[in-house]
Amino acid sequence: MVTYGAHPGWEALGDPSRLAIVQRLAERPCAVGELADELPISRPAVSQHLKVLKGAGLVVDQAVGTRRVYRLSPVGLSALRDQLDTFWRRALNGYQDIVDEAEESS
């Protein structure tokens, strides 16, 4: 298993179906059935994926009558965004800024 203590959002976005769900939710908030209609998987499969995305803090849900509307969570996405931005910035300047000093975050 070996969790490495990484943000669960990366594993959540690693699945193609979940990334597709996130892409749909980036366009508009959706109920479970709507997502299942647009995707080549069953509705329970979508439900399970949403559970993972919710556990990773990437989506939030809201009960509307008998339906549950899901939408993206800005706070959850910002964590991944910042980390990926760090990777990109480090790679961009050719590791120039590493020479001086190191500050760590576990």
Partner DNA sequence: CACGAACGTAAGCTACGACTTACCGATGGT
Partner DNA sequence: ACCATCGGTAAGTCGTAGCTTACGTTCGTG
* Residue 62 lies near DNA (rule: CB under 7 A): no
Sheet with 30-31: strands ordered across: 30-31, 67-72, 59-64
Among 9, 22, 25, 32, interactor with DNA by CB under 7 A: 32
Contacts of 10 (CB under 8 A, 6+ apart): 80
Q: Nearest approach, Cβ of 41 to its own copies (angstroms)?
A: 8
23 binding DNA? (CB under 7 A): no
Helix, strand, coil shares of the chain, percent, nearest 5, are: 60, 15, 30
Of the CA atoms within 13 Å of residue 20, those in its CB half-sphere come to 14
Q: Which is nearer to DNA, 15 or 97 (CB)?
A: 15
CB of 40 to its own copies, least distance (A): 6
Residues that bind DNA (CB under 7 A): 1-2, 14-15, 17-18, 31-34, 40-52, 61, 63, 65-68, 106
